[in-house]
Amino acid sequence: MTMSHDRPLTAEDLLASPRGRSLVLGLALSGREDEFDDEGQALTASARALDEFRSAVFIAGYLADKAKGAAVAMYLGEGDSEPESGAVTAGDVAETLRFVTPSNPNQAELEHAMAEVIGGAMYWQPPHGADHVAAEPEVREALRLFAEVLIGTGLLDAWSRPLDTENQWALAWDDEEHRGGLPAMFTHPAGPIGQAESRPAISLADLFSSAEGDGGKLPWGLDEWLGHVLTTETEYRHDLAKDPNDELSGEWWSTPPDGLWTSTSTWPDQTPIGVELVEDDFGLERARVCRVRLRQEARIAEIRWPEDWAQLCRRFPLDVTAQRRYVWFETTGRKGRWVIPDWSRVAEDFDGVHVSLAGYLRTAGSVVEVGDHSLVEASPSLPTIGNTDDCTASLMAGWHPDMTFWLNDVVDSVTEVVEWVYDNDADAWQRPPTQ
């Protein structure tokens, strides 16, 4: 089911959202390597303009971080002194940006810039100083030309399309310290992408090891997840009743529970999007991905706009005000009623929830307005001291771009298993040569 139209991203969409601005800023900060020497010194007038812009962003971001009380330090060269407050303003950043010439990124450069954006996404502390600077009106307006150039490349045209059910890949990390996912994926022979017809489909029963005697912990079901959220909310309300001003930091994500099937599609070169775009990345370097065959009747909720997320929250609201109150205030500056979708109820109407690349850029990290105060049941235990508004809102946090969470049993089989390894020299995910 689609709850919104699939209009392609616009420059205004990018500039209106935290992740979109980060993407545009990152591309504006990049430059042609041949315009700098081996020591990073600018060789051309355009490179010198870019160098000045980079310096302005760095200093302004540092000062913004410091003003928010972040534990930051600047390493100074001989004879240098630490910049004082106001030494470089948002207006200064915007002025230097006007001398930088936008360039058309290619697909590889766009993917790299997106990976930087996703890797830096945080929902448990204030935004990075550079993100704060990019949100200032004058800088945002100066970034408009760069956003328009990016849109003009056409590389983002397909990012609002609905789920490609014929090209879905689930992944399991194969790093020693972070191994996770489906057990048999690590022992089943891997092969080249696109040769599924030469091998029989893998039975789902073969992908799950027996829980008896292995000491493993079974993943939560949706009902168990709901019980955990409700219990946690009660506990936080109890603690806040003792001290309403206590800064209690809780869970920051708004995803369904771990243990459900998740999948993404691929980039044009067939690299799974899920291995490149990972929020809260631990420096993962090995993965196995399996192509899943889905049942045709699967019902999909598409998240392409903040309003799509808001609709899920209105239809299936789950109050998390107390447990998200402080941690989401840190990242948004807002205190008030917070809800997330009750995934146990969403599963009654939808089998999967897909956040498109465009939906991620438009929605992730933004305060999503859901409704008025009546959406959350009135209660004496509901914390209200210091609220910045009287509304109900939500935050889409912890989702990866193009990710689909499968809430119900709609994965029919696995048709391929492929290894991927991160090549530090190439700064890219690649298949091992044997594949």
Tell me the DSSP string of 297-352: T--EEEE-SHHHHHHHHHHSEEE-HHHHHHHHHHHHS--SEEEEE-HHHHHHH-SE
3-state secondary structure of 161: coil
In the structure, what pLDDT confidence band is assigned to residue 218 with cuts at 50, 70 and 90? very low
Q: The sheet that has 391-394: what strands, in order across it?
A: 317-319, 337-341, 391-394, 368-372
- On the CB side of 86, how many CA atoms lie within 13 Å of its CA? 0
When pLDDT is averaged across residues 248-269 and rounded to a whole number, the result is 92
In the structure, what pLDDT confidence band is assigned to residue 134 with cuts at 50, 70 and 90? very high
pLDDT tens string 367-377: 999 999 889 88
Whose CA is closest to 291, among 267, 254, 316, 266? 266
In the structure, what pLDDT confidence band is assigned to residue 207 with cuts at 50, 70 and 90? low
Answer with the residue of higher pLDDT: 182 or 147.
147
Q: Give the model's pLDDT for residue 217.
A: 43
3-state secondary structure of 385: coil
Task: Tell me the domain boundaries of the chain.
Answer: 11-160, 169-423
When pLDDT is averaged across residues 86-111 and rounded to a whole number, the result is 95
Q: Is residue 124 within 8 Å of residue 252, measured between CB atoms?
A: yes
When pLDDT is averaged across residues 292-321 and rounded to a whole number, the result is 96
In the structure, what pLDDT confidence band is assigned to residue 184 with cuts at 50, 70 and 90? very low
Q: How far apart are CA 146 and CA 48, in angstroms?
A: 18
Which residues are 308's β-sheet partners? Answer: none
Residue 405 vs residues 46, 116, 168, 193, 254: alpha-carbon distances, Å: 45, 23, 11, 23, 12
How much is the mean pLDDT over the chain? 87
Q: How far apart are CA 420 and CA 407, in angstroms?
A: 26
When pLDDT is averaged across residues 129-140 and rounded to a whole number, the result is 96
pLDDT tens string 143-176: 999 999 999 999 999 999 999 999 999 988 776 6
Q: Is residue 162 within 8 Å of residue 308, measured between CB atoms?
A: no
Which of 242-246, 313-317, 429-433 is predicted most confidently? 313-317
> Which H or E element spans position 371?
strand 368-372
pLDDT of 342 > 80? The answer is yes
In the structure, what pLDDT confidence band is assigned to residue 39 with cuts at 50, 70 and 90? confident
3-state secondary structure of 116: helix
Which residues are 58's β-sheet partners? Answer: none
3-state secondary structure of 372: strand
Answer with the residue of higher pLDDT: 232 or 69.
232
Q: Give the model's pLDDT for residue 274.
A: 92
The percentage of residues in the chain with a pLDDT greater than 90, rounded to a whole number, is 63
When pLDDT is averaged across residues 412-420 and rounded to a whole number, the result is 87
When pLDDT is averaged across residues 413-433 and rounded to a whole number, the result is 85
Q: Give the model's pLDDT for residue 227.
A: 96
In the structure, what pLDDT confidence band is assigned to residue 73 with cuts at 50, 70 and 90? confident
Q: How far apart are CA 399 and CA 414, in angstroms?
A: 23
In the structure, what pLDDT confidence band is assigned to residue 415 with cuts at 50, 70 and 90? confident
Q: Give the model's pLDDT for residue 205.
A: 57
Q: The sheet that has 404-406: what strands, in order across it?
A: 261-263, 404-406, 352-355, 300-303
**CA angle in degrees (0–180, nearest 5) for 212-217-223:** 110
166 CB contacts (<8 Å, ≥6 apart)?
A: none
When pLDDT is averaged across residues 173-198 and rounded to a whole number, the result is 55
When pLDDT is averaged across residues 24-38 and rounded to a whole number, the result is 86
In the structure, what pLDDT confidence band is assigned to residue 1 with cuts at 50, 70 and 90? very low
Q: Is residue 369 within 8 Å of residue 310, measured between CB atoms?
A: yes
Q: Is residue 147 within 8 Å of residue 139, measured between CB atoms?
A: no
pLDDT of 311 > 50? The answer is yes
Return the residue matching tokens 């897909």: 354
Q: Is residue 258 within 8 Å of residue 219, measured between CB atoms?
A: yes
When pLDDT is averaged across residues 319-323 and rounded to a whole number, the result is 96
